[in-house]
């Protein structure tokens, strides 16, 4: 049985120790929420944040959103308790920071298996180290392994800039080759790929331009730091109405009896191949999944 298509156009980070933000999250129109135990929570507040998450998940959230919990990194003093707390509330995914090798994924998967965690809990791996970028083909390729939990990867651009020593207003342009390498690895292995955050949430013009470029690069969505960023992400990474109309025309044309065995047909003065049909059906499936998310079905 195929799993539902993962829709992650807009993925909002919410500090796990912020009660107001936790309460508001379910009412927002983002596709997913990452409840953050890592960077957004001070060391002294880690246990308070874990307890706040237990209460929040007990109360329930939005059936229209995917829920994920970002734990502190492997090897930190908080990792084990974070992972146990996350496993206990059964989110849709656990976000693992600074994944630099397949061994990191296996360590988390083994820990979840030891606690009999349900297979529904997936892993979203953050790619934010130079080692992670260097090993991206192997990390993404883990999705083909038996009983793996890898469902998505997230680019952590801020940490990547810092570790690689890249700075300046054109820092993002300088790492475009790396970003495309990560996107390519994700697409080759059928997992979702999310772009990093845009730090100045007041600069909606700059953020919108980055969103649009990210969508053109092949990212499935973007991680966000403020609710005001949701609407543009949903638009930028959602199906274009004109492309949807064309996709439906292609699907309808190939569905005609006279085209059933044809590898290529003529449509509106253009030659259309079956590979275009596959692309059209994928786009229509994505649009349907988005509509189902909106309706809560």
pLDDT above 90 covers a percentage of the chain that reads 84
Give me the mean pLDDT over the 163-178 stretch: 95
Rg value, the chain, Cα: 20
Q: What is the pLDDT of residues 37-57, one digit of tens each?
A: 999 999 999 999 999 999 999
Q: What is the pLDDT of residues 142-166, one digit of tens each?
A: 999 999 999 999 999 999 999 999 9
Does residue 2 carry a pLDDT above 70?
no
In which band, very low, low, confident or very high, does the pLDDT at 289 lie, cut at 50, 70 and 90?
confident
Q: What is the DSSP letter of 5?
A: P
Give me the mean pLDDT over the 233-258 stretch: 91
Mean pLDDT of the chain: 93
With contact defined as beta carbons under 8 Å apart, do 169 and 126 qualify?
A: no
Residue for token pair 């298996």: 113
How many Å apart are CA 88 and CA 91, to the nearest integer?
A: 9
Does residue 1 carry a pLDDT above 50?
no
Q: What is the pLDDT of residues 205-229, one digit of tens each?
A: 999 999 999 999 999 999 999 999 9
Looking at residue 59, what is its pLDDT?
86
Does residue 297 carry a pLDDT above 60?
no
Kindly tell me the sign of the dihedral angle through the C-alpha atoms of 182, 187, 191, 196: positive
How many Å apart are CA 26 and CA 67, to the nearest integer?
A: 10
């Amino acid at each position: 049985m195929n799993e539902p298509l993962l829709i992650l156009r807009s993925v909002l980070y919410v500090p796990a120790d912020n009660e107001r933000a936790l309460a508001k999250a379910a009412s927002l129109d983002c596709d997913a929420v990452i409840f953050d135990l890592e960077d957004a929570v001070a060391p002294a507040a880690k246990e308070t944040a874990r307890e706040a998450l237990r209460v929040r998940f007990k109360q329930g959230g939005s059936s229209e959103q995917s829920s994920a919990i970002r734990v502190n990194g492997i090897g930190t003093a908080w990792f084990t308790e974070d992972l146990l707390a996350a496993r206990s509330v059964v989110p849709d995914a656990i976000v693992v920071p600074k994944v630099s090798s397949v061994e990191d994924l296996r360590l988390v998967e083994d820990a979840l298996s030891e606690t009999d965690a349900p297979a529904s809990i997936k892993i979203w791996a953050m790619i934010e180290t130079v080692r992670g970028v260097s090993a991206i083909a192997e990390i993404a390729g883990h999705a083909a392994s038996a009983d793996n939990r890898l469902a998505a990867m997230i680019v952590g651009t801020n940490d990547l800039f810092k570790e690689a020593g890249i700075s300046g207003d054109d820092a993002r342009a300088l790492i475009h080759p790396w970003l495309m390498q990560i996107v390519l690895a994700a697409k080759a292995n059928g997992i979702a790929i999310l772009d990093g955050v845009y730090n100045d949430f007041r600069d909606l013009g700059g953020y919108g331009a980055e969103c649009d470029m990210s969508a053109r690069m092949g990212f499935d969505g973007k991680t966000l730091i403020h609710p005001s960023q949701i609407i543009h992400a949903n638009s930028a990474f959602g199906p274009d109405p004109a492309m949807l109309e064309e996709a439906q025309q292609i699907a309808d044309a190939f569905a005609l009896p006279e085209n059933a065995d044809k590898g290529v047909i003529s449509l509106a003065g253009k030659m259309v191949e079956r590979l275009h049909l596959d692309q059209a059906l994928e786009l229509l499936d994505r649009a349907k999944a988005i509509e189902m998310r909106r309706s809560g079905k």
